[in-house]
Amino acid sequence: MPKHLVIVESPAKAKTIEKYLGKDFHVMASYGHVRDLIPKEGAVDPDHDFEMKYQLIERNAKHVDAIRKALKNCDSLYLAPDPDREGEAIAWHIQEILKEKDALKNKKIARVVFHQITKHAVQNAIKNPRDISMDLVNAQQARRALDYLVGFTLSPLLWRKVRPGLSAGRVQSPALRLICEREAEIEKFISQEYWTIHAALTSHKQSFSARLTHYKNKKLEQFDINDEKKSKTICDALSKNANGKCRVAAVTKKERKRHPAAPFTTSTLQQEASRKLGFSAQRTMQVAQQLYEGIDSGEGPVGLITYMRTDSVTLAQEALTDLRDCIQARYGKALVPTEARIYKTKSKNAQEAHEAIRPTSASRIPADIQSFLTPEQFKLYDLIWKRTIASQMIDATLNTVAIDFEVKDGLFRANGSTVVDPGFMTVYEEGLDDKKSSDEESEKILPPLKEGDSIPIESIAGEQHFTEPPPRFTEASL
């Protein structure tokens, strides 16, 4: 007969954790929140210190009753919902309900938290229990009260004034405003024509182009050449002056370092999964929840990633050691920096006790466990593993070069770069919301040239462009 009862949210998590704790522990699921505000006016009373009126969630009443019955034969109750304010509130509500039912008499009650579902993390949490944090509970209640006050007040107004069935909310209404403001920008946007002029050049059997940056000793601004007639006039004049050749006026070389991105937080994971995998934010969190709660990889269920609701980019010391060992073994010592990279969370309100989202074991290579995962689980785990590994690798080193070419009255420039040492890019590169924001010209490899070289010009031609309105938000950019 088990002596200790452990409560978590989901049955999948319960199964994994019970395996780690042994026969003295029985693990049950609350199936999420067990109480919520009464669904009518007055659930939150601003006139009486924002008093909140709760009721048992009907679909979970049977689970609460099962917990109460199981507790009768146990000496202690460990409340182990998720390690965030929602989990803390679930623990508090369960405690309050059981207290009302007089089910806690002579029982030891403790709150336990773990940020990854591994044997070591779970057993360590049981050894280091704490009291329920009322600060976290109050934070969750404030969030829930605001949701209620905003939604319950504004939604009926929308039904009367706009259309039945519409809803307003603490988060959705500001998001809607952002979308509407962007749409208004797009609608009032007036496109402007402009032209750029390029010289097609050849050297060392390599063709490349250079863009006109100065004309008659004046630096060209975006709208200086704004119609085809002006573009043709300049092209004809420069072609005549060049007479088929230009001279290398300057070659500027620089070495540039590119740093790896920080490990994932909830928001950056959702953004990157949207950009690279096409996942919605909701789907990303559903799959991440599965990876966190445990996947059976042949030796019983094991949590593959740390807790996926976090705004922290920090990594535990044991994780840093694990990652550095994995990088050295898999990619070589040269790709391991002298010291572990320490990332600092920008948000002042970040929960530093939490870690970034990372694999629970760096040695659990995605390809090695692919057969145990669904296609979506594999894609997301692979993304998290690569991002975390890359975050602890050396910088990428690139050589950038800018070459200026001159003809009478004109100065052209070509930009290019070469990767000297890929560093972390061996494993992972961060995606972009707007591909145009990356300078495509900087990725060109240019031929070896030196100041004074004479280069043949194949042609000088103009290219028409139109300014574009700001893009509509994607799920990632919003």
The residue type found at 135 is D
Of 363, 354, 353, the closest CA to residue 389 belongs to: 363
How would you class 323 by CB atoms within 10 Å of its CB: exposed for 0-12, middle for 13-18, buried for 19 or more? buried
Measured CA to CA, the distance from residue 368 to residue 422 in angstroms comes to 25
* C-beta separation of 88 from 16 below 8 A: no
* Residue of 78, 292, 307, 428 marked active site: 307
> Measured between alpha carbons, how far is 421 from 376 in angstroms, rounded to an integer?
32
Binning the chain into helix, strand and coil, the percentages to the nearest 5 are 40, 25, 35
DSSP string, 68-129: HHHHTT-SEEEE---SSHHHHHHHHHHHHHHHHTT--TT-EEEE---SS-SHHHHHHHHHS-
Taking CB atoms within 8 Å and a gap of at least 24, the contacts of 13-20 are 13/117, 13/293, 13/294, 15/294, 15/301, 16/117, 16/293, 16/294, 16/300, 16/301, 16/302, 16/303, 17/80, 17/117, 17/122, 19/300, 19/301, 20/118, 20/119, 20/122, 20/123
Catalytic site includes residue 307? yes
The whole-angstrom separation of Cα 365 and Cα 442 is: 34
Sign of CA dihedral 117, 121, 124, 130: negative
Contact criterion met (CB below 8 Å) for 324 and 286: no
Cα–Cα dist 74/167, whole Å: 45
Nearest to 88 by CA among 9, 167, 174, 153: 9
Q: 365 Cβ partners below 8 Å, 6+ apart?
A: 330, 385
Which residues form the catalytic set? 307
